[in-house]
Amino acid sequence: MRRPVARNLTVLAVSAAVVVSVGAAAPPTPHGAPGAPKTPVAVGYGGAVASVAPDASAAGIEVLRKGGNAVDAAVATAAALGVTEPYSAGVGGGGYFVHYDAKSRTVRTIDGRETAPRTADANLFTENGKPIPFSDAVSSGLAVGTPGTPATWQRALDRWGTRKLASVLEPAERLARHGFTVDDTFRSQTAANEQRFRYFPDTAELFLPGGELPVVGSTFKNPDLARTYRELGREGVGALYRGELGEDVVATVNKPPVDPDSGWNARPGDLSAEDLAAYEAEFQAPTRTSYRGLNVYSIAPSSSGGTTVGEALNILERTDLSEASKARYLHRFIEASRISFADRGRWVGDPAFEDVPTRELLSQRYADSRACLIKDDAVLTSPLAPGDPRHPAACAGGGTAAPTTYEGENTTHLTVADKWGNVVAYTLTIEQTGGSGITVPGRGFLLNNELTDFSFAPANPAVHDPNLPGPGKRPRSSIAPTVVLDRHHKPVVAVGSPGGATIITTVLQTLTGFIDRGLPLVDAIAAPRASQRNAAQTELEPGLYDSPLRGRLEALGHSFKENPEIGAATGVQRLPDGRWLAAAEKQRRGGGSAMVVRPAR
C-alpha cells in the first residue's frame, strides 16, 4: 500500500536535518573567494541558492543578504554563471525561468528561448537537398538564434524583482574583472573545444590565453565581459536588442570572424537588427500536473520539459513506487520515459507555429491510456509510436515513431529561494559545450548554437515534424525547471538540470527519488541515473551500469549503454520549520555549490 505523501515529506525533512548535522562542525567558508570549496548541501534561514559554481552561488547570496528577493538573486547568479560557466550560458544564449510568488501562491514562467531569423525556413540546414552534417552546422552563423537571456533577466526583474539590472549585474561584473580560479572541469571543457576554438581568433584569444589551455589553479579574467555587463547595466538590455552591442552580434553572426588559415567553412547566418528588435521573452502559464497529492509546475512549450515530465509522472501515478523493488522502480521509470518521449517527438514544438495539445498530453486520462502499455515482465519496443492525446485509445499500438533528435548536453541550472518564500528555478543555456564556438569580438561572450535543436529534416517524411525551422520560430527544448507545491500551494521542492534531452529524465528521476523513494534531496540528486529517450538502448551511469540491477533489467529485455555522466541538477527544499535546504551535485561536473544566507548550526 502506498505511503501517504505527508509522511514521506516528514521523513525527508528529518533526513535532511540529519544530512546537514553531519557536517555542522565544519567552520564556515567565506563565500565569494576565488576557488572557494564546493558544498553540495546547506541548510539555514534567509534564503538559499544552488548552482554549479561557488562564485555564482555567492553572487546570489550577496544579493539576498542585501535585501533582494529570489528573482534579483537568480539574475545575479545567472550573470555570474556567464563568467564561470561561459561554455554553458551567457548573454549570447537563452533559457526558461519559472517563478513562484509566495504572496499570491502562484507560479508563472518566462520563455526566453532563442528564435530563428525571420528569413529562416524548413531548409535552414539543408544544402543541395540534403541536411548538412551536424558538426558543420554547430560552429557556424547558421546555428545562432536571437539571444533571449538579457530579455529574460529584464522581464523577470520588471515583473517580480526589487532591484535594477545594474545592481544585480554588479557581482558578475566584479567577478569577470577580477577573475575566478580555473578548475579541472573548466580546463577539460576548454580542451574538448580547443580545435574549433582555434578556428575563431577572438575565441582563441579569450579562452586559450597565450595560445595555451588555461592552467588549473590560475585566475581567469574576462575584462570584455565585465565591460559588456557594465554597458547592459547602464543602458539596459536595449543595448543588445536595439543598440551597438546588437550591431556587433549581427555582424558576427552574418560574417563569422574565422581564421582564414584554419580552412574552416563557418557558414554565415542571416540575423538582422529587425530580428533583435522584434524579440520578446514571453510570459506564459506553466504546465501543471498532480502527483501524489502534490502540484507539479514546469515550463510549457516551446520547451517539451513540462509536458514530458508531467506525462511521465501521470503514467507513474498508478504505480506504488515507494514499495517497489529497485528493479521494478527503474523498469517503470524507464518505460514511462520511453512513452512520454514518443509523444513528445510527435506533438511538441513552438506553439506559435504548431498546434500543440498541451492540456491533452497532461491529462490523467491520456496517461492511463498509455500506461497500460507497460508490462512488468517485458520491455516496449523503441522507437515507440506516439499516441493521440486528443483521442486516447487504451493501449493503442502501431503508427509511425518519431525518434528523438540530438540536443547538446551542456547547459546550467540554478535554484533560488528567499526569506519571503519566493522560489525561482531557472535553466539557461548556449546549447552544447562552447555553443557555436564564436565569440563576439570585444564583448567577452560566446554565441549560442540553439538552432541546431531544430530537426534538420523530417524524422519521417510520412509524419508531420513539429520541430522544423521557421521564421522567428523557437526550436524545441527539453529544459524542465520545476517547482512542486503542496495542497496549500506552498513550496515543497524545486529542481532542474542541464543535459539536453536527458534533462527530462534527470528531473523525473530526481522527483521520484525524492517524493516516492524517500531520498533526501541531495541524495536524490546524487543517485546514479538512467535515461531512456525512445531509443533502442537506455543510457546508464556507471553506478547502475556496473550494478547487479543492470542484469535484472536485461533479463526483462532492456538494452543498455554506458554514459559516464548524465545531467548536473540543483534544487531547494522548504523544511517544515521554515528553513531552506539547498542541494547540488556531489560529484558531477566537479560538484555543485549549495549556500544559504544564514547557516543553521
Q: Is 109 helix (H, G, I), strand (E, B) or coil?
A: strand
Q: Are 560 and 538 in contact (CB under 8 A)?
A: yes
Rounded to 5 degrees, φ, ψ at 356 are -90, 120
Helix residue ranges per DSSP H, 212-278: 223-235, 238-241, 244-254, 273-278
Cα gap 469→566, rounded to integer Å: 28
- Angle, vertex CA 387, rays to CA 381 and CA 388, nearest 5: 170
The reply to whether 453 sits in an annotated binding site is: yes
Which set of grid coordinates corresponds to residue 175? 567577478
What value does the CA radius of gyration of the chain take, rounded to a whole number of Å?
Answer: 22
Please choose, from the candidates 441, 40, 6, 14, the residue with its C-alpha nearest in 3D space to the C-alpha of residue 248: 441
The reply to whether 15 sits in an annotated binding site is: no
Catalytic residue, candidates 39, 411, 427, 506 = 411
Cα gap 323→317, rounded to integer Å: 13
> 511, exposed or middle or buried, with CB in 10 Å at 0-12, 13-18, 19+?
buried
Catalytic, 411? Answer yes
The reply to whether 500 sits in an annotated binding site is: yes
- Kindly give the pairing relationship between strand 580-584 and strand 41-51: antiparallel
The reply to whether 139 sits in an annotated binding site is: no
Q: What is the 3-state secondary structure (H, E, C) of 489-514?
A: CCEEEEEECCCCCHHHHHHHHHHHHH
- For residues 378-403, one letter each, b for 16 or more C-beta atoms within 10 angstroms of the residue's C-beta and e for the rest, the string is ebbebbbbbbbbeebeeebeeeebbb
Cα gap 405→505, rounded to integer Å: 15
* Binding-site sequence positions: 113, 453, 477-478, 500
Q: Which active-site residues does the annotation give?
A: 411
- Residues contributing to the annotated binding site for L-glutamate: 113, 453, 477-478, 500
